[in-house]
Amino acid sequence: DADVTQTPRNRITKTGKRIMLECSQTKGHDRMYWYRQDPGLGLRLIYYSFDVKDINKGEISDGYSVSRQAQAKFSLSLESAIPNQTALYFCATSDTSAGSVYGYTFGSGTRLTVV
Amino acid sequence: KNEVEQSPQNLTAQEGEFITINCSYSVGISALHWLQQHPGGGIVSLFMLSSGKKKHGRLIATINIQEKHSSLHITASHPRDSAVYICAVRFGNEKLTFGTGTRLTIIP
């Protein structure tokens, strides 16, 4: 099983629909993130959470909301999807302590298309 | 304004060649990450480093804190190394700032 699992892997939805992307992890990391990737741009941070009671906006949070249901689960919602939210979405967890080798673990991504 | 710059944007090389990908950043950082994105889209962490040099198999990552520069080297490149390589930096807090990536193609 993957350390960070995203569902669904692919989704096509219509403009105006509500959609939820889910992320679960078995790494035991406290910190979780949602990123968006668009062609020609670096990954951009949507929301992040340092623990269950701590939720923070990233640089492009407008139009999105999140829920940290448990340490292992972090969901991203698009309340009313619009076409410019078509992108590849990544969930990630981090362990950036001194002994950490890689720091971040990424999910496999969710390719979302809004038509 | 993107504070992380990668070069080149695209790189095509013959199998067996030594590959270098560069990353420059604007201000002091607490750590730098090198990531690999496969053609299918998945992202894998290769290295996290804050000083010196790290090696894993044919991959070597170096960082020069004074010059605000890091390089990722691939020795004896192979077609399976074809991917997008992404540099990301952490400016003191937990949030990463990402470069736009270097698309590497290794021709057999």
* Confidence band of A101 (pLDDT split at 50, 70, 90): low
Distances (CA, A) of B72 to A73, A103, B12, B62, B87: 33, 17, 15, 7, 9
Q: Which of A27-31, A34-38, B4-8, B61-65 has the lowest mean pLDDT?
A: A27-31
Q: How far apart (Å, rounded) are the C-alpha atoms in residues A72 and A37?
A: 23
* CB of B42 less than 8 A from some CB of A: yes
pLDDT the model gives residue B104: 97
* CB of B87 less than 8 A from some CB of A: no
Residues of B in contact with A41 (CB under 8 A): 100
Q: How far apart (Å, rounded) are the C-alpha atoms in residues B61 and A9?
A: 31
Q: How far apart (Å, rounded) are the C-alpha atoms in residues B108 and A62?
A: 45
Residues of B in contact with A88 (CB under 8 A): 41
Edge-first strand listing for the sheet containing A4-7:
A4-7, A19-25, A73-78, A64-70
pLDDT the model gives residue A74: 98
Distance from the Cα of B72 to chain A's closest Cα (Å) equals 15
Quick check: B55 and B63 in contact, CB under 8 A? no
Q: How far apart (Å, rounded) are the C-alpha atoms in residues B90 and B68?
A: 13
Residues of B in contact with A48 (CB under 8 A): 94-95
pLDDT the model gives residue A33: 95
pLDDT the model gives residue B40: 80
Could you give phi then psi for residue A83, rounded to 5 degrees?
-55, -35
Q: Is the per-residue pLDDT at A82 higher than 60?
A: yes
* Confidence band of A7 (pLDDT split at 50, 70, 90): very high
Task: Over range A63-86, report the average pLDDT.
Answer: 96
Quick check: A27 and A4 in contact, CB under 8 A? yes
pLDDT the model gives residue A98: 62
Mean pLDDT by 10 residues, chain B (108 residues): 85 98 90 91 90 95 95 97 95 82 96
Q: How many residues does chain B have?
A: 108
